[in-house]
Every structure is written in C-alpha cells, then in structure tokens.
Chain A
C-alpha cells in the first residue's frame, strides 16, 4: 500500500524541487549506411534515423504523462560520423551534418549527437576530414552536436589533436559569432569518452553498442539540495547516507522511465546515467548543493572535498537503483547551466583553476565555460591538455567545452538561453603554452602502478 507521506514526497520532488528525467536518448548505429557516394550515404542516414526514432518524442511524452514525471529532452545519438567519412571530402561530411540536422528537426528533438571522431592514438582520413569540418558543420546546423576523444588512459594524449582542437574551437567561435559563439557549446573534447553517454554535447553511439539502444539521463540537484537543507545540522557521514538515499529515489525513476521507453519503442535498454545535471532554474543547481552542505559559496576552500563526497554518494545510491548503469554518471558542473556556479564565477569565488581541481573528483570536466574571445588557440589547447591529463592519469572521463566567445572580455556575460543558460566570461592565466603545444606528438600512456 502506498503511504501518503511517500506520495507527497514524490509529488513535492517533482513540483517544488525540479525533479525530472533530463533525457531519453536513442542511440542508433549507422554502420549499415556506408556508401562511397555522399548523396546515397546521406539518404541512408536520414532514412535510418527517421525509421528508428520516429516514435521517440511521442513515446517520451506519453511516458511523461503516464507517470507524471517531466521528461525534458528526447534526443538521438549516432555512430561517430568519422567512421563513415573515410571516402568523403569536407563538403561530403558537412552534408552528413546537415542531414542529421534535418532529421532532428523533423523528429522534433533539440539535439542530435555523433558528429564525432575518436583520435586518442592518431587520425584516420575520415577523422581528419571530420575534425576539419566541425566549425562549418556547427555553423550551418542548429541541432548537431560534436565531440572528439583526444586522449585515453591506454593511449595517452594525442597532442596533435589537442593542438588542432584549439584552432577548431577558435574557428567555431568565429563562425558562430552572431550567436555568442554558440557553436562552441555544442563541441566537446574528451579523454576516456564513454560510448553510451545520453547527455549532449558528448553523446554518440559507440562502436560496441547494439543496433539501437535507449539510454536515460536523470537529474535532480534540487531534490538533493532540499533533502540536505531539511536534514539541518548532521555529520558528514550522515549527510552521505542522506545523499545516497535521495540519489536512489531519483535513479529509480530513471530506471522506470528507461524500461518503459525500451518496451514501448521495442529498443533494448542500455543504461541509466546517474548524473546530477543542473539547469539554470533557481533551485536546480549543483553549486547550491555544495553550499547547502556548508560552504559559504561554491569555489571557496572545501569545495573539492564537498564535491568528491557528493559525487561518490550519488553513485553509491544510484548504482543500487538501476540494473544497468553507465554513461558519465556523476555530478555535472557546467558553469553556464547552473545558477549557483554562475553566481560564484561572477563574484570571483570560482576560478577556472578551482573548476579544474573539481573535475578531478566529479563527472566530466571544464564544462560550458566562457573565456575571453582573444584567448589564443594554443592557450585553449593548453587548458584542454590540462583537463584531459586529469582524466588520463586518473582513469576517468574528463572533457572540455570552452567558449572563447568572439569579441568578449572578462566580465561580459554570454547568454545562450534555455538549458544552456548564461556564462560570465572568466579570466584565464596569460602565460603562453605555445612552445609546449607546438611540439606535437603524443603524451605517452601513464603508468598504472606506483599510484602517487
């Protein structure tokens, strides 16, 4: 029998604390679309996406209504396009991006991921062409998201790719300058990228995935923050228990929705991504969780420790709640998408250096950070290399989604709107890593013993 207090708790989480399912993402393999002819290839890609995901949005809406839980995004990820691009020139690859964009628009989804390349050890012809085309692809599409995996613990860091991505990000910022360099918000550089991530901009359908798959990303920073506030003063051990229990409840909803979507769409259930994904809405902030744990403001001393505990507790609670867990799984700290992070960055309490430290203990990395428009490509590559090295050495996923907003300077605010929020332009150190970046080559894979 359902207890009234349990019912009220669930309703309160949804109504007052912004509990939602952040995304149902359908992964679709495009391997069977291979063709030498770009026109034929694009037709097959379009047909495959449309046939596979035709009912994705309506099914998501039906599940949302059935259980009374908001499902914010319905999205699609596809096979890394670089794997299909070997025989194409740059125009041919951009044509694929436009095809993906057209399919996404007709499906009614806001993002489609997979304009991606895996180059941690080196470039294929296809990955080189794709990376070269990213600025044009992002500038000429609305919904396409791009990612490049430039490092892994087993391969090390491809510094040629890191150097190239500095230039690509700058060019993307320039080509999308009329929209606050929005193209850069749809471009991520990864280390140890997961192949089943449902979250954008880094989602793609990995090479070991089935033909189609349903992955679900949960959310709920507001629920965790409220639970902590209600608990009042208690020890950190008690707090960890509370976060675990709350994460369990959040994730159970994700599991329920994932199984329902899988059944209704007749597509295998992949994973639930145990993430605390903030939005710019007040009360839906990871920074506020850290502050409710006892920090005066996110970014102050103690922030990394609080985040480490939060991230660990979320995983411990979530992993019990779902039969299959994967993706990025952890607390996200995208600056522009988190009201508390925005405030902390604006006040100067939160610096890029502190954010970098935080990414060593939580999910993903330097995410949605606006930096001055005159930042050099080498400096951007240097920041990316720093971030990827944390992932490579610690055997975890890290990433960089940096926005050198064209023409912006420190103190400006770049407004992206919607879930992407607004980003205060943050200062970076001015010393140049130019000679280091221009050496090129690969930073070797790190030793996996002697772990100090």
Chain B
C-alpha cells in the first residue's frame, strides 16, 4: 500500500531531510522522489510505502500537514487509490 506525499512551496535546504525523518518515525518507507515546478512553485512528489506505518494514516496526514506549516510549505499525504482510480482503468 502506497501514499503520495506532495511538497509544494519555496525550495530550501533540508526539505527532503525533514520529510524523510518524519516518515521514518512513522514507519513510512520512501520509494521514489521526483521534483518539478507546478504553476511556478517548487513541487516535490514522494511515493512512499505505508504497509508498515505505525500510526493511523489519517494521523500521518496531519503530521505531514503540521510539518509543512512549520516550514512554510504545503505538505500533503494522499492515499494512492485516488490516483489509481482517476488514471487507471
């Protein structure tokens, strides 16, 4: 089971480290990272394995959002099924 973590905002030193540290604390394993510019904003997309997550996924969503707020970023974790539903038949 996977999740997509999107990080949107101004690029700065240590973003990946901060998100990775939080993921590790929650038992979330990062599988893939890509970066791009979406509507002028730095956008990082992480695909993460949440099979061994040690807290409820909705709590992880909250922790990511809080981490984002603390760093002037928008960090959102979303279950992969929304993307699979929309783009795969």
Contacts and interface: CB of A to CB of B under 8 A. Distances in A.
Interface of A is mostly: helix
A69 interface: yes
18 contacts: A2-B2, A2-B83, A2-B84, A4-B45, A6-B83, A6-B86, A7-B83, A10-B82, A10-B87, A11-B6, A12-B38, A66-B57, A66-B61, A67-B79, A68-B61, A68-B76, A68-B77, A249-B86
B12 interface: no
A8 B58 contact: no
Given A7-B83, A68-B82, 19 more contacts: A2-B2, A2-B47, A2-B80, A2-B87, A3-B87, A6-B83, A7-B4, A10-B82, A11-B38, A11-B76, A65-B62, A68-B61, A68-B77, A68-B78, A68-B79, A69-B82, A252-B85, A253-B86, A255-B85
Interface in A9-27: 9-12, 15-16
A76 to B, nearest CB: 23
Interface string B10-47: 00000000000000000000000010101100010101
A67 B86 contact: no
A2 B4 contact: yes
Nearest to B57: A66
Contacts of A33: none
A237 B38 CA distance: 30
A263 interface: no
Chain A CB count within 10 A is highest, among B8, B77, B85, for B85
Contacts of B38: 8, 11-12
Contact of B6 (A7, A16, A66, A256): A7
Contact of A12 (B39, B62, B82): B39
Chain A CB count within 10 A is highest, among B58, B80, B83, for B83
Contact of A256 (B4, B58, B62, B82): B82
Chain B CB count within 10 A is highest, among A12, A15, A68, A256, for A68
B32 to A, nearest CB: 8
A36 interface: no
A6 B81 CA distance: 12
B82 to A, nearest CB: 4
Interface string A99-123: 0000000000000000000000000
A317 to B, nearest CB: 12
A8 B81 contact: no
Contacts of A11: 6, 8, 38, 76
Given A2-B4, A4-B45, A66-B61, A16 B39 contact: yes
A252 B39 CA distance: 25
A62 B80 CA distance: 15
A25 B25 CA distance: 37
Contacts of A62: 58
Contacts of B6: 7, 11
Chain B CB count within 10 A is highest, among A3, A12, A65, A253, for A65
A4 B87 CA distance: 11
Nearest to A11: B6
Chain B CB count within 10 A is highest, among A8, A9, A66, for A66
B58 A67 contact: no
Contact of B79 (A3, A7, A12, A66): A66
A250 to B, nearest CB: 8
A249 to B, nearest CB: 5
Contact of B58 (A7, A10, A16, A65): A65
Contacts of B58: 62, 65-66
Given A3-B87, A8-B45, A249-B87, A67 B34 contact: no
Contacts of A3: 87
Given A8-B43, A11-B6, A65 B85 contact: no
Interface in A48-85: 62, 65-69
A255 B76 CA distance: 22
Nearest to B82: A67
A7 B39 CA distance: 14
Contacts of A68: 61, 76-79, 82
A10 B84 CA distance: 10
B52 to A, nearest CB: 18
Contacts of A8: 36, 38, 43, 45
Given A16-B39, A66-B61, A6 B87 contact: yes
Contacts of B79: 66-68
Given A2-B4, A8-B36, A253 B43 contact: no
Contact of A67 (B8, B47, B81, B87): B81
A7 to B, nearest CB: 5
Contacts of A249: 86-87
Contacts of B87: 2-3, 6, 9-10, 249
